[in-house]
Amino acid sequence: MAARKPLVMGNWKLNGSKAFTKELIAGLKAELAGVSGCDAAIAPPVMYLAEAEAALAGSAIALGAQNVDVNVQGAFTGDISTAMLKDSGAKYIIIGHSERRTYHKESDEFIAKKFGALKEAGLVPVLCIGESEAENEAGKTEEVCARQIDAVINALGVDAFNGAVIAYEPIWAIGTGKSATPAQAQAVHAFIRGHIAAKSQAVADQVIIQYGGSVNDANAAELFTQPDIDGALVGGASLKAAAFAVIVKAAAVAKA
């Protein structure tokens, strides 16, 4: 199996300010200097991409964003395009986060369009998938994850996952302090990779599958011992430089 370099990405969500952005990035640069073996990225609010890009100068930490529109330009009030994100130095773009699926009614098909727009622009989609608590209790976890992945495969083909990232985030674990156990997460990650492998083993072998949902500096190392967990998408704990750095370093050590 091909070696996959882990990716730990911070999803700042609706948090921060210019000053916070500069301060957090200064802390991350200090904490992560000289760390290799795990790619690190941050997704601040788009308002602060310029501050973040400037503050990240000279660092290996990559820049990302939390959403993108499917349209490239024109009369689309309030939207942000792939070209704008690229112009602002962003590389990894989160799409399909459960908060956008829930609060903005984004469908699997709409998210697949975003995936295609990002690939066309040469950006890296970070596709969030995952089941709700009710779906989990009803034994529908695999069905939901397969449906969310298949929306992309049906629209773009399995090769679209070359160079892409999937973040498995069980909704019941997001922001609740109740992470999936390493074994629970591994079982779903293995299912997701197997589902892609049924179409292309080569694509499945290289795709990064992050776990997300209450990852913190205390539980990250154990999650990363699992073979199909290739890093993490981190919300709350990404707002503190020290905690985020512990998670990045844990991935680098576990996957060395």
Q: Which residues bind ligand PGA (CB under 6 A)?
A: 11, 169, 174-175, 212-215, 233-237
In terms of C-beta density within 10 A (0-12 exposed, 13-18 middle, 19 or more buried), how is residue 34 classed? exposed
Q: In Å, how far are 20, 24, 27, 149, 183 from 30, measured between CA atoms?
A: 15, 10, 5, 37, 33
| Residue 123, phi-psi category: left (phi > 0), alpha (psi -120 to 50), beta (remainder) | beta
Q: Which amino acid, residue 148?
A: Q
Q: Could you tell me the smallest distance in angstroms from the CB atom of residue 215 to ligand PGA?
A: 5
Extract the tokens encoding 1: 């199996």
Instruction: Give the CA radius of gyration of the chain.
Output: 17
Minimum CB–partner distance for residue 176 and ligand PGA (Å): 7
Q: Least distance (Å) from ligand PGA to the CB of residue 217? A: 11
Q: How far is the CB of 175 from ligand PGA (least distance, A)?
A: 4
Residue 79's contacts (CB-CB under 8 Å, 6 or more residues apart) are: 69, 71
Instruction: Name which of 180 and 252 has its Cβ closer to ligand PGA.
Output: 180
Nearer to ligand PGA, 80 or 167 (CB): 167
Neighbours of 195 (CB within 10 A): 17
| CA gap 125, 165 in Å, rounded | 6
| Catalytic residue flag (residue 104) | no
List 51, 97, 99, 106, catalytic entry: 97
Beta strands in 100-219, from DSSP E residues, in sequence order? 124-129, 165-168, 208-212
- Report in angstroms how near the CB of residue 13 gets to ligand PGA at its nearest: 7
Task: For tokens 């909704």, name the residue.
Answer: 171
**141/214 with CB nearer ligand PGA:** 214
Closer residue to ligand PGA, CB minimum distance, 169 or 230:
169
Nearer to ligand PGA, 67 or 214 (CB): 214
Minimum CB distance to ligand PGA, residue 164 (Å): 17
Q: Cβ closer to ligand PGA: 8 or 233?
A: 233
Minimal CB distance residue for ligand PGA: 235
Residue of 51, 99, 106, 169 with catalytic role: 169
Active site includes 97?
yes
Half-sphere exposure of 187 (CA within 13 A, CB side): 7
Cα 152 to Cα 124, 138, 221, 224: the distances in Å are 14, 24, 31, 26
Catalytic residue set: 97, 169
